[in-house]
Amino acid sequence: MFSIEHDFDATVITLVDEGDAPLQEDVVISNFEECVTVGQYDPRQDKTVTVTLSMSQLNDLIAALELPEGVYMRKPEEG
């Protein structure tokens, strides 16, 4: 299950783990104009851990999800 909310400066997507236990904590993805943050509560540390991806890193991740094992470099975007 997931939800999508449009805030003033970001689109926020929350991914809720469903299925058999043990379940993972919700993942919150915030899409800003200049970056994307991915956060998840870590009960061992009792805090939310956040990773920030640049738009270039996000585009690499999107491309990587469809490719086999290897090392790749995306071509620069024209425009």
Summarised one tens digit per residue, pLDDT across range 17-66 is: 998 999 999 999 999 999 999 999 999 999 999 999 999 999 999 999 99
Query: In this structure, what token pair is assigned to residue 43?
Result: 């009960």
Classify residue 12: in a domain, yes or no: yes
**Residue 58 forms part of a structural domain:** yes
Q: Cα 46 vs. chain centroid, distance in angstroms?
A: 21
The backbone region for 46, taken as left when phi is positive above 0, alpha when psi lies in -120 to 50, beta otherwise, is: left
Phi/psi for 60 (5° steps) reads: -65, -45
**In total, how many domains does the chain have?**
1
Instruction: State the residue range of the domain holding 30.
Output: 2-64
- Reported as a pLDDT band with limits 50, 70 and 90, residue 75 is confident
CA nearest to 15, candidates 33, 27, 32? 27
Q: Is 72 contained in some domain?
A: no
Q: Is residue 69 part of a domain?
A: no
